[in-house]
Amino acid sequence: MRSISTLAILIATGTGLMAGPAFTVDATRSAGKVSPKLYGLMTEEINHAYDGGLYAELIRNRAFLDDAQSPANWSVVKDDASAATIALDTSNPLNDKIPTSLRVTATQATKDHPAGVANSGYWGIPVHPKTEYRASLWARAEAGFFDPLTVSIVSDDGRTVYASGEISGLTTEWKKFEATLKTGNVTPTAQARFAITLDQPGTVRLGLVSLFPPTWNNRPNGLRKDIMQMLVDLNPKFLRFPGGNYLEGNRVSERFPWAKTLGPIEDRPGHPCNWGYRSSDGMGLLEFLEWCEDMHAEPLLAVYAGYSLGGEHVKAGAELEPYVQEALDEIEYVIGDTKTTWGARRAKDGHPAPFNLTHVEIGNEDYFEQAKTYDDRYAQISDAIRAKYPQLKLISTTPDAKLNGRKADMVDMHDYSATDEFIKKSSNYGADMNRQGPEIFVGEWAAHEDASARPWEGPSWKLASTPSMKAAIGDGVFMAAMERNSDIIKMQCYAPLLVNVNPGARQWRPDLIGYDALSAYGSPSYYAIQMFSRNIGDEILPVTFSGTSVQGCATRDSQTGEIIVKLVNPESTPQSLPIEIKGVTSLKSKATVITLSASPEDTNSIRRPRNVVPVTTTLSGIKPGFTFTMPPYSVVVLKLQTH
């Protein structure tokens, strides 16, 4: 049965079925340069993307500020011969930034029957074999308590100690303690917690408590290695941060507080995140920047522009001035000379060299604002940034805004559509884009499987956090469209990027990469993006497709002459597609073919992480005119070598 999408393409391309299918690549000319920054990443704190995700901290509610009423995620450790109580304590704060500590009183405890407190982590503490964990905590003892404290990673039932260490030297003053915990040859599990116990009666107060597994590049306040590897494998050229709605917060007072996210973690109280939980701010401005550095990607910094998700806005003019200054200071932190105030602060934080910032986005989705004040706010903020940093490209969040006569260098356009909608709009996408206008940044996009389950609507809650192959088809046709138009679409990034798949962890679906405490996996969409971003030339080659529902794009590597054709078959049947490469007299007979193909409902998960993955094969008999048969529901990259 022919789908509506097929008909739409036939109408869009003005070609009847009678003409027979054809996919033509015009290699006689280039339709423009492929943007070298086309493929990037977008990220924000959503779905426990950082806390309980990429940020490797294992202790949840490490500063005891998640819940003012009770020590959330902390519980008493005791057995039938020991006893303890725990309580939040606001009368003995660790410092003026973290006003709450945890009082732990062991009322009955011995060496064989210790008592204390345990943290359950983010859906468990991951135990990996032969692994070193770095524990740190701030503690002070009540007079009369004598050392030591035992810190350990133990099974939920308390019977198995996977690793442990001792802390001694407590006094009645706050002091920081560190211990290394080493596991043996254990079976991986997340049914474990982190315990701090006393082996005698007494009271101690705990300040910030932290536990890190090994991190990417061994950064002390670093990132989870498995997820980082997956991100690096996407070959991203930039990272858009810190949002998204996370930049704005629900209220002006809950915007991303970049200045409070700097320095030692015991100086970071965290802040309420608009996605329904408190952010630890362990993932602070410097961590974002070093994350970019570790991926060899540029930071694309979004600065707060005076509008928050709940509808509050700051009036342009004098009221907005402190926020303008805040944005200027933030940029100074990123690129300022070390003689500047914030450049010096960056150096003090351990990174004297400025980062390679070229793009700054002003706000996020300001078109949702009822009061429509973006023109004024953008004008004021962009004037100030341009005056100080004329080299930066500025991005507006509102495509049709007049911006009080200011010109944005780029506009950010977001697109969350169902696969069928992407199929429909992608075949002719970009034809009406104004090549004289600002460059285009598709700063958030993703295909969801069906229009009946939009990411922000109820029915989507019943679906898995990460998308199925059906969504990857929508992603594929849209990426092909963006690549065909990458002379004007200079940057694009899928969103959201990350999701903790434990029940209750997510706020939005679909998401590209899923994980729990122990492992991570990529959705079929992840692999489709990887296929696109890792196989790309620098010249756009014009393509025409007619009499077929297959969509695609082509680029050429001007250094090697390689022609890279990307094709997406949205049909349930194989598609035999005559492909003509015009302007090339001969091609090497052997081509590399990368294929992602599965049933629309097929997907990956923690249990089946590699159920749908690309397969690389070699195809012979390639000529400037050849017929290629695409499997049903497939995304294919053909790498054709010229002589």
User: Which residues form the interface with ligand AHR (CB under 6 A)?
Assistant: 44, 46, 243-245, 364-365, 444, 495-496, 508
107: number of Cβ within 10 Å:
13
Query: In the bound complex, what is the minimum distance in angstroms from residue 370's beta carbon to ligand AHR?
Result: 15
Residue 144 is classified by DSSP as T
Residue placing its CB nearer to ligand AHR in the complex, 187 or 456: 456
Please state, in angstroms and rounded to a whole number, the distance separating the CA atoms of residues 550 and 521.
Answer: 28
Query: In the bound complex, what is the minimum distance in angstroms from residue 497's beta carbon to ligand AHR?
Result: 9
Please state, in angstroms and rounded to a whole number, the distance separating the CA atoms of residues 6 and 571.
Answer: 9
- DSSP bridge partners of 499: 514
Q: Is 476 helix (H, G, I), strand (E, B) or coil?
A: helix
Query: In the bound complex, what is the minimum distance in angstroms from residue 152's beta carbon to ligand AHR?
Result: 38
Query: In the bound complex, what is the minimum distance in angstroms from residue 167's beta carbon to ligand AHR?
Result: 40
- Rounded to the nearest angstrom, the gap between the alpha carbon of residue 535 and the centroid of all alpha carbons in its chain is 21
Please state, in angstroms and rounded to a whole number, the distance separating the CA atoms of residues 165 and 148.
Answer: 10
Residue placing its CB nearer to ligand AHR in the complex, 389 or 416: 416
**Which helix (H) or strand (E) covers residue 213, if one does?**
none
Residue placing its CB nearer to ligand AHR in the complex, 288 or 508: 508
Residue placing its CB nearer to ligand AHR in the complex, 55 or 133: 55
105 — phi, psi (to 5°)? -120, 120
Query: In the bound complex, what is the minimum distance in angstroms from residue 280's beta carbon to ligand AHR?
Result: 19
Query: In the bound complex, what is the minimum distance in angstroms from residue 479's beta carbon to ligand AHR?
Result: 17
Q: Concatenate the DSSP letters of all residues of 551-576 into one string.
A: EEEEEE-TTT--EEEEEEE-SSS-EE
Residue placing its CB nearer to ligand AHR in the complex, 105 or 364: 364
Residue placing its CB nearer to ligand AHR in the complex, 235 or 364: 364
- Rounded to the nearest angstrom, the gap between the alpha carbon of residue 89 and the centroid of all alpha carbons in its chain is 35
Cβ contacts of residue 480 below 8 Å, gap of 6+? 426, 551, 552, 553, 566, 567, 568
In 3D space, the residue among 595, 589, 591, 553 whose CA is nearest the CA of residue 574 turns out to be 595
Query: In the bound complex, what is the minimum distance in angstroms from residue 249's beta carbon to ligand AHR?
Result: 11
Residue placing its CB nearer to ligand AHR in the complex, 248 or 420: 248
CB 50 within 8 A of CB 282: yes
Question: Tokens 């709605």 identify what position?
Answer: 245
Query: In the bound complex, what is the minimum distance in angstroms from residue 309's beta carbon to ligand AHR?
Result: 8
Query: In the bound complex, what is the minimum distance in angstroms from residue 495's beta carbon to ligand AHR?
Result: 4
Residue placing its CB nearer to ligand AHR in the complex, 378 or 626: 378
Residue placing its CB nearer to ligand AHR in the complex, 222 or 243: 243
Residue placing its CB nearer to ligand AHR in the complex, 15 or 364: 364
Query: In the bound complex, what is the minimum distance in angstroms from residue 348's beta carbon to ligand AHR?
Result: 32
How far are the Cα atoms of 187, 424, 438, 481, 579 from residue 11, in angstroms, in the given order?
58, 10, 29, 17, 21
- DSSP bridge partners of 521: 514
Residue placing its CB nearer to ligand AHR in the complex, 53 or 552: 53
**Which helix (H) or strand (E) covers residue 51, if one does?**
none
The angle formed by the CA atoms of residues 471, 473 and 478, to the nearest 5 degrees, is 100
Query: In the bound complex, what is the minimum distance in angstroms from residue 313's beta carbon to ligand AHR?
Result: 16
Please state, in angstroms and rounded to a whole number, the distance separating the CA atoms of residues 132 and 325.
Answer: 43
Residue placing its CB nearer to ligand AHR in the complex, 363 or 600: 363
Query: In the bound complex, what is the minimum distance in angstroms from residue 417's beta carbon to ligand AHR?
Result: 13
Residue placing its CB nearer to ligand AHR in the complex, 46 or 357: 46
Q: Is 543 helix (H, G, I), strand (E, B) or coil?
A: strand
Q: Concatenate the DSSP letters of all residues of 156-206 into one string.
A: TTS--EEEEEEE----SS-EEEEEEEE--SPPPBS-EEEEEEESSSEEEEE
Tell me how long the chain is.
Answer: 643
Which tokens hold the place of 382? 């962009």
Query: In the bound complex, what is the minimum distance in angstroms from residue 241's beta carbon to ligand AHR?
Result: 11
In angstroms, how far is the first alpha carbon of the chain from the final one? 41
Residue placing its CB nearer to ligand AHR in the complex, 280 or 364: 364
Please state, in angstroms and rounded to a whole number, the distance separating the CA atoms of residues 26 and 541.
Answer: 6
Query: In the bound complex, what is the minimum distance in angstroms from residue 62's beta carbon to ligand AHR?
Result: 25
Please state, in angstroms and rounded to a whole number, the distance separating the CA atoms of residues 351 and 245.
Answer: 28
Residue placing its CB nearer to ligand AHR in the complex, 64 or 445: 445
Query: Burial level of 45, CB count in 10 A (0-12/13-18/19+)?
Result: buried
Please state, in angstroms and rounded to a whole number, the distance separating the CA atoms of residues 511 and 509.
Answer: 5
Residue 512 is classified by DSSP as S
Query: In the bound complex, what is the minimum distance in angstroms from residue 354's beta carbon to ligand AHR?
Result: 28
Residue placing its CB nearer to ligand AHR in the complex, 454 or 588: 454
Please state, in angstroms and rounded to a whole number, the distance separating the CA atoms of residues 519 and 528.
Answer: 20
In 3D space, the residue among 398, 252, 403 whose CA is nearest the CA of residue 319 turns out to be 252
Query: In the bound complex, what is the minimum distance in angstroms from residue 191's beta carbon to ligand AHR?
Result: 31
Residue nearest to ligand AHR (CB): 244
Cβ contacts of residue 508 below 8 Å, gap of 6+? 46, 47, 455, 456, 496, 499
Please state, in angstroms and rounded to a whole number, the distance separating the CA atoms of residues 130 and 128.
Answer: 7
